Amino acid sequence: MQEEIDKLQRTKLVANEAFTSLQTCASRLEDLKGSISGEEKNLSDLLEEQKQKLQDSGDLQAQLEALRLEISRFDLSDLEAARVQREKAFRQYYATESELRTKENRKGDLLRSLDLIKDRIDVAQRKGERVEKIGKTL
């Protein structure tokens, strides 16, 4: 009987250890379930972020292709022709500006000459009037 009591006590001890281990495992299981839930949420967030970045990357790739197409439409000969035309327009502008300055200077010279001629005419008229007065008085 003592043997049976010892056996039962050992069995009880093993059962208690198993129960304690089971409680520890259950507690760890709950902790792990919480961790798994958090990790699943993180994974979901990361997958959503990756999906958004892939979409943004696709949009940027499309924009890049559109820009490349626009750039390819520019023909270098057209750009060169535009540059030559611009230079020609500048030369024409500067020539016209120079011609305008020359004509304005000439206009100023002519106006001064005209003023001198007017002054001479006025002086000649006064002399003529004086000669006429002198002729009348004589």
* pLDDT tens per residue across span 9-42: 999 999 999 999 999 999 999 999 999 999 999 9
Q: Taking phi first (over 0 means left), then psi (-120 to 50 degrees means alpha), and beta for anything else, what does residue 75 get?
A: beta
How far apart CA 35 and CA 28 sit, in angstroms, is 10
Residue 68 and residue 80 in one domain: no
Residues 89 and 105 in one domain: yes
Structure tokens at 115: 């003023």
Which domain-ending residue is among 73, 104, 119?
73
Last residue of a domain, one of 73, 101, 118: 73
- Residue 94's domain comprises 75-138
Pick the last residue of a domain from 73, 92, 114.
73
User: What CA dihedral angle connects 88, 92, 95 and 97, to 10 degrees?
Assistant: -130
Which tokens is 39 given? 């990790």
Same domain flag for 42 and 90: no
Q: Please tell me the distance from the alpha carbon of residue 105 to that of residue 123, in angstroms, as a whole number.
A: 27
67 and 8 housed in the same domain: yes
Q: Is the pLDDT of residue 110 over 90?
A: yes
Same domain, 68 and 1: yes
Q: Are residues 33 and 80 in the same domain?
A: no
Same domain for 68 and 120, yes or no, is: no
Number of domains observed in the structure of the chain: 2
Amino acid, single-letter form, for residue 117: I
Within this chain, do residues 89 and 49 fall inside the same structural domain, yes or no?
no
Residue 134 pLDDT exceeds 90: no
pLDDT in tens, 41-83: 999 999 999 999 999 999 999 999 999 888 777 777 788 888 9
3 state SS of 129: helix
Same domain, 45 and 2: yes
